[in-house]
Amino acid sequence: MADIASKKRKRASKTPELLRGFRDVIQEEAPYWQHVQASATDLLLDYSYSEIQLPILEATSLFKRTIGEHTDIVSKEMFTFEDQGGDSITLRPELTAGMVRAYIEHGMFNRPQPVKMYSIGPAFRYERPQAGRYRQFNQLSVELFGDAQPVADAEVIFISYLLCKQLGLDVTIHINSLGSSESREDYVQLLKEYIKPKRSLLCEDCKKRITKNPLRLLDCKEEACRALFIQAPLLVDNLDDESKKHFVAVLEHLDESEVPYELDPYIVRGLDYYNRTAFEIVASVTNDAVEGEEATVTNLIVGGGGRYDGLVEILGGRNTPAIGMAFGLERLVSAFKKTKSGISSEKKPQVFLAQLGEEAAKHAFTLFETLRSNNIRVRANFGKTGLKPQLELADKLGVVYTVILGQKELLDQTVIIRDMENGIQEVVDLTKIVDEIKKRLKKGR
């Protein structure tokens, strides 16, 4: 008895840990996230995409109706629960459904079309955690509503490509056409007939897919299944005329704008709602060499998207063509880190503010703010007292100058500027500190 009680106590006192498949982005990694997000939003704003912020929790029915009951996401990956009022709610597994809901709910079809939006934030899927796959991950979703023309598909793909290029990634767009939902039905029959005699050779998931979601057979990750589909009839060979024309026009746009792409007839995408264009953005990343071995190059799918012309109507809106894509930000950041392009040194601190004595410490906030609000990148440690530890810190930060505010200087209304390279110190008027620092920084020292 005593043993059980002590075990329980031990468990209760253990420091709580992260849930499996969840992660923290700590200080060392956060600048990479900031860089990727800033670089993406600058580009999107330049191309007239506006930000929209959406809730993380939505009604479960939103995802069931849009993503589809028989997809992996809805059938086994959603974090769904009842709230205190007894309603079924779900942590969003992706952002597009919410964007479509918002488009309808805010009557955005009354605005000039196309409506171009992006949204950034977490998504949740109860998947088996592994490299590059988390249970909470972040997406950047980019959507264009109200334009059925191939140029809209090409625009979204072009911008996705630019975004990767801007981050120094080496990417190729893998692209396919899923045709119209009608032409797909005929194709699905062909596919079923092809695979039925081989049924016993398929993995358990694929056996279920034959009846529940046959198109998904094509993107099974099992080698044995993949081998079986090499000879299978292809969707692209069975497109209706309009979809074929559309696809060719999209590819022509990509050719013109020099977007590198590969035709990939096996892309079907995980969600039910796509029609016509479907694509994935594949980054080729160089992994660091481990001891005794050469660096390896792997392909990482950083994002994907497609056209979803029926989706707005499925949710009760007007018939509105749309195309969108989503980046997985964990993968984008990880690929960006591996480019070793680093983060702009612009943000490196220029000045350290050291203070000596009680009175100076009290004035330090004000002086710090004077420097900061005049666009000088200043750092300080307000809790440190001695000069030596503060100079050491300044050294570590690599600042060009340290501004020293001491008891005597405060009385004289002066400060000392110390050149961190040669240790030369000069006394200047407190009121002139901003000009004095700027003058020196401009001179290159």
Nearest to 403 by CA among 350, 354, 366, 347: 354
Q: Which is nearer to ligand ATP, 137 or 187 (CB)?
A: 137
How many residues make contact with ligand ATP (CB under 6 A)?
18
Angstrom CA distances, 312 to 137, 145, 277, 298, stand at: 25, 9, 17, 37
Place of tokens 């075990």: 7
Nearest to 152 by CA among 304, 41, 276, 269: 276
For the CB of residue 128, give the shortest distance to Mg ion in the complex, in Å: 11
Establish if 137 lies at the interface with ligand ATP (CB under 6 A): yes
User: What sections of 47-120 are H helices per DSSP?
Assistant: 60-67, 72, 96-105
237 SS3 class: helix
Q: Which is nearer to ligand ATP, 139 or 320 (CB)?
A: 139
Binding mask 74-113 for ligand ATP (x = CB under 6 A): --------------------x-------------------
Q: Which is nearer to ligand ATP, 304 or 406 (CB)?
A: 304
Among 184, 307, 331, 440, binds ligand ATP (CB under 6 A): 331
Establish if 330 lies at the interface with ligand ATP (CB under 6 A): yes
User: What sections of 328-406 are H helices per DSSP?
Assistant: 329-338, 358-373, 387-397
Q: How far apart are CA 377 and CA 443, in angstroms?
A: 16
368-372-376-379 Cα dihedral, nearest 10 degrees: 50
- Give me the sign of the Cα torsion angle 227, 230, 231, 235: positive
Q: Which two tokens stand for residue 222?
A: 């099992």
Of 105-113, 203-211, 327-335, 362-370, the window that binds ligand ATP (rule: CB under 6 A) is: 327-335
Establish if 326 lies at the interface with ligand ATP (CB under 6 A): yes
Q: Which residues contact 131 (CB under 8 A, 6 or more apart)?
A: none
Angstrom CA distances, 190 to 160, 179, 195, 214, stand at: 34, 15, 9, 10
Q: Cβ distance 150 to 309 under 8 Å?
A: no
For the CB of residue 284, give the shortest distance to ligand ATP in the complex, in Å: 15
Among 29, 58, 127, 436, binds ligand ATP (CB under 6 A): 127
Backbone torsion region of residue 365, taken as left when φ is above 0, otherwise alpha when ψ lies between -120 and 50, otherwise beta: alpha
Among 146, 303, 310, 406, binds ligand ATP (CB under 6 A): 303
Residue 436 binds which entry of Mg ion, ligand ATP, none, CB below 5-8 Å type-dependent = none
Q: Tally Cβ neighbours within 10 Å of residue 41.
A: 16
Establish if 321 lies at the interface with ligand ATP (CB under 6 A): no
Of 98-106, 161-169, 322-330, 339-347, the window that binds ligand ATP (rule: CB under 6 A) is: 322-330
Of 129-137, 316-324, 349-357, 386-394, the window that binds ligand ATP (rule: CB under 6 A) is: 129-137
Q: Which is nearer to ligand ATP, 123 or 400 (CB)?
A: 123
Establish if 376 lies at the interface with ligand ATP (CB under 6 A): no
Nearest to 140 by CA among 303, 339, 334: 303
Site for Mg ion in 267-296 (CB under 5 A): 270
For the CB of residue 138, give the shortest distance to ligand ATP in the complex, in Å: 8
Site for Mg ion in 217-276 (CB under 5 A): 270
Calculate the CA 425 to chain-centre distance.
47
Site for ligand ATP in 253-282 (CB under 6 A): 269-270
Among 68, 179, 304, 406, binds ligand ATP (CB under 6 A): 304
Q: Which is nearer to ligand ATP, 310 or 324 (CB)?
A: 324
Of 46-54, 125-133, 142-150, 436-444, the window that binds ligand ATP (rule: CB under 6 A) is: 125-133
Where does this chain bind ligand ATP (CB under 6 A)? 94, 125, 127, 132-134, 137, 139, 269-270, 301-304, 326, 328, 330-331
